[in-house]
Protein backbone atom coordinates (compact mmCIF):
# COMPACT_ATOMS: atom_id res chain seq x y z
CA UNK A 1 0.00 0.00 0.00
CA UNK A 2 1.28 3.39 -0.93
CA UNK A 3 -1.57 5.79 -0.30
CA UNK A 4 -3.90 6.79 2.51
CA UNK A 5 -6.80 5.78 0.28
CA UNK A 6 -5.45 2.23 -0.03
CA UNK A 7 -5.02 1.94 3.74
CA UNK A 8 -8.54 3.27 4.24
CA UNK A 9 -9.97 0.75 1.76
CA UNK A 10 -8.40 -2.12 3.69
CA UNK A 11 -9.73 -0.79 7.00
CA UNK A 12 -13.22 -0.23 5.54
CA UNK A 13 -13.32 -3.70 4.03
CA UNK A 14 -12.24 -5.28 7.31
CA UNK A 15 -14.84 -3.24 9.21
CA UNK A 16 -17.55 -4.67 6.96
CA UNK A 17 -16.04 -8.17 6.98
CA UNK A 18 -16.05 -8.47 10.76
CA UNK A 19 -19.35 -6.60 11.19
CA UNK A 20 -17.94 -3.99 13.55
CA UNK A 21 -20.34 -1.07 14.01
CA UNK A 22 -18.63 2.24 13.34
CA UNK A 23 -19.87 3.87 16.54
CA UNK A 24 -18.58 0.96 18.60
CA UNK A 25 -15.29 0.82 16.66
CA UNK A 26 -14.66 4.53 17.26
CA UNK A 27 -15.38 4.09 20.97
CA UNK A 28 -13.21 0.99 21.30
CA UNK A 29 -10.34 2.63 19.40
CA UNK A 30 -10.55 5.72 21.61
CA UNK A 31 -11.29 8.13 18.77
CA UNK A 32 -14.29 10.21 17.78
CA UNK A 33 -16.81 8.96 15.24
CA UNK A 34 -15.81 11.87 13.00
CA UNK A 35 -12.14 10.84 13.10
CA UNK A 36 -13.08 7.26 12.27
CA UNK A 37 -15.17 8.47 9.35
CA UNK A 38 -12.19 10.38 7.98
CA UNK A 39 -9.96 7.34 8.42
CA UNK A 40 -12.38 5.02 6.61
CA UNK A 41 -13.07 7.50 3.81
CA UNK A 42 -9.39 8.12 3.15
CA UNK A 43 -9.93 11.80 2.52
CA UNK A 44 -7.67 13.11 5.30
CA UNK A 45 -4.30 12.26 6.71
CA UNK A 46 -4.44 10.58 10.12
CA UNK A 47 -1.99 9.85 12.89
CA UNK A 48 -0.11 6.57 13.05
CA UNK A 49 -1.48 6.05 16.57
CA UNK A 50 -5.01 6.28 15.15
CA UNK A 51 -4.15 3.77 12.43
CA UNK A 52 -2.67 1.38 14.99
CA UNK A 53 -5.71 1.67 17.30
CA UNK A 54 -8.26 1.08 14.53
CA UNK A 55 -6.25 -1.75 12.97
CA UNK A 56 -5.86 -3.45 16.36
CA UNK A 57 -9.61 -3.36 17.05
CA UNK A 58 -10.23 -4.86 13.61
CA UNK A 59 -7.78 -7.71 14.20
CA UNK A 60 -5.19 -6.27 11.82
CA UNK A 61 -1.54 -5.56 12.37
CA UNK A 62 0.64 -2.95 10.70
CA UNK A 63 3.74 -4.40 9.09
CA UNK A 64 6.48 -2.52 7.26
CA UNK A 65 8.51 -4.61 4.86
CA UNK A 66 11.32 -3.81 2.45
CA UNK A 67 9.98 -2.86 -0.97
CA UNK A 68 11.93 -5.74 -2.49
CA UNK A 69 9.95 -8.20 -0.35
CA UNK A 70 6.56 -6.97 -1.61
CA UNK A 71 6.21 -9.68 -4.31
CA UNK A 72 6.39 -12.31 -1.58
CA UNK A 73 3.08 -11.07 -0.20
CA UNK A 74 1.05 -11.59 -3.38
CA UNK A 75 -1.65 -9.26 -4.66
CA UNK A 76 -2.20 -5.88 -3.05
CA UNK A 77 -5.78 -6.63 -2.05
CA UNK A 78 -7.30 -9.34 0.11
CA UNK A 79 -6.89 -12.84 -1.27
CA UNK A 80 -9.89 -14.36 -2.98
CA UNK A 81 -11.13 -17.62 -1.46
CA UNK A 82 -10.20 -20.77 -3.38
CA UNK A 83 -13.85 -21.85 -3.39
CA UNK A 84 -16.36 -19.15 -4.39
CA UNK A 85 -19.23 -18.43 -2.04
CA UNK A 86 -22.83 -19.01 -3.11
CA UNK A 87 -23.15 -15.28 -3.74
CA UNK A 88 -19.92 -15.17 -5.78
CA UNK A 89 -21.11 -18.10 -7.89
CA UNK A 90 -24.49 -16.44 -8.51
CA UNK A 91 -22.83 -13.17 -9.50
CA UNK A 92 -20.51 -15.00 -11.87
CA UNK A 93 -23.50 -16.73 -13.51
CA UNK A 94 -25.25 -13.38 -13.94
CA UNK A 95 -22.14 -11.82 -15.48
CA UNK A 96 -21.65 -14.71 -17.90
CA UNK A 97 -25.29 -14.54 -19.07
CA UNK A 98 -25.16 -10.84 -19.96
CA UNK A 99 -25.09 -9.96 -23.65
CA UNK A 100 -21.91 -8.14 -24.56
- pLDDT tens by residue, 27-65: 999 999 999 999 999 988 999 999 999 999 999 999 888
pLDDT of residue 100 exceeding 60, the answer is no
Query: How much is the pLDDT for 91?
Result: 84
**Contact call for residues 35 and 41 (beta carbons, < 8 A):** no
Give the pLDDT of residue 94. 87
Average pLDDT, rounded, for the chain: 87
Mean pLDDT of 82-99: 79
CA 56/CA 39 separation, integer angstroms: 14
How far is residue 51 from each of residues 44, 90, 96, measured CA to CA in Å? 12, 36, 40
Closest listed residue to residue 40, CA positions, set 74, 13, 64, 71: 13
Give the relative orientation of helices 33-41 and 4-18 as an angle to the nearest 10 degrees. Answer: 110
**Rounded Cα distance, 54 and 30, in Å:** 9
Q: Choose the CATH number for 4-74 among 1.10.260.40, 3.10.50.40, 3.30.390.50, 3.90.1150.10.
A: 1.10.260.40
Q: Which of 64, 42, 66 shows the shortest CA–CA distance to 54?
A: 42
Amino acid sequence: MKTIEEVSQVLSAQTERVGYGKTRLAHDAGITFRTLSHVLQGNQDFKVSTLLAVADRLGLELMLVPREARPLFGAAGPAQPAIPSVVDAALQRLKSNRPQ
